[in-house]
């Protein structure tokens, strides 16, 4: 009797998993895809993962002063090195998509880190994005403090 109950339970779990993985996934709008990309970068920043932040940058990325992907990563590593904890808040994010492969966002980002002396900064960041074979990637950005 126990063998049948175990087999029934395993069958029920297998059917449940099959239904879960076969269920159609919600299709995100391009705007929501960009919001999700920004949220992943914010989460990576809070985990002090510079590589996880710059993965959203395209190889052609250019920031203020012509900064490329490598320079942004170096800047982040320096900031993370001095911090015991990093907190990133994004209370405002405006996303527009002008074509199937071109987007833009403007957002307010609050960065806080606690090192020897707590430090907090507010940045207004604007970025242009392009949809590639791997999804959306930032191709340019500017920021003001």
**pLDDT > 70: percent of the chain:** 79
Question: Does the pLDDT value for residue 145 go beyond 90?
Answer: no
Is the Cβ–Cβ distance between 127 and 104 less than 8 Å? yes
Task: Map out the domains of the chain with their CATH numbers.
Answer: 29-144 (3.10.450.50)
Query: How many C-beta atoms surround the C-beta of residue 141 within 10 A?
Result: 18
Backbone torsion region of residue 93, taken as left when φ is above 0, otherwise alpha when ψ lies between -120 and 50, otherwise beta:
beta
Name the least confident of 21-30, 45-54, 84-93, 126-135. 21-30
- pLDDT tens-digit map of 71-106: 999 988 988 887 778 888 888 999 999 999 999 999
Q: What pTM did the predictor assign?
A: 0.77
- As given in the structure block, the two tokens for residue 94 are 């405006």
- Could you give phi then psi for residue 116, rounded to 5 degrees? -65, -40
Question: Does the pLDDT value for residue 119 go beyond 80?
Answer: no
DSSP letters of 55-114? TTEEEEEE-GGG--HHHHHHHHHHHHHT-SEEEEEEEEEEEEEEETTEEEEEEEEEEEEE
């Amino acid at each position: 009797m126990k063998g049948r109950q175990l087999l029934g339970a395993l069958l029920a779990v297998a059917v449940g998993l099959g239904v879960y993985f076969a269920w159609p996934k919600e299709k995100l709008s391009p705007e929501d895809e960009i919001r999700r990309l920004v949220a992943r970068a914010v989460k990576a920043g809070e985990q002090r993962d510079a590589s996880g932040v710059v993965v959203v940058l395209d190889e052609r990325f250019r920031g203020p002063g012509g900064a490329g992907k490598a320079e942004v990563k170096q800047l982040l590593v320096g900031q993370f090195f001095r911090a015991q904890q990093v907190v990133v808040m994004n209370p405002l994010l405006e996303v527009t998509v002008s074509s199937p492969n071109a987007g833009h966002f403007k957002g307010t980002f609050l960065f806080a880190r606690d090192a020897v002396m707590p430090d907090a900064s507010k940045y207004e960041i604007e970025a242009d994005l392009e949809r590639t074979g791997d999804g959306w990637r930032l191709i340019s950005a500017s920021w003001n403090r």
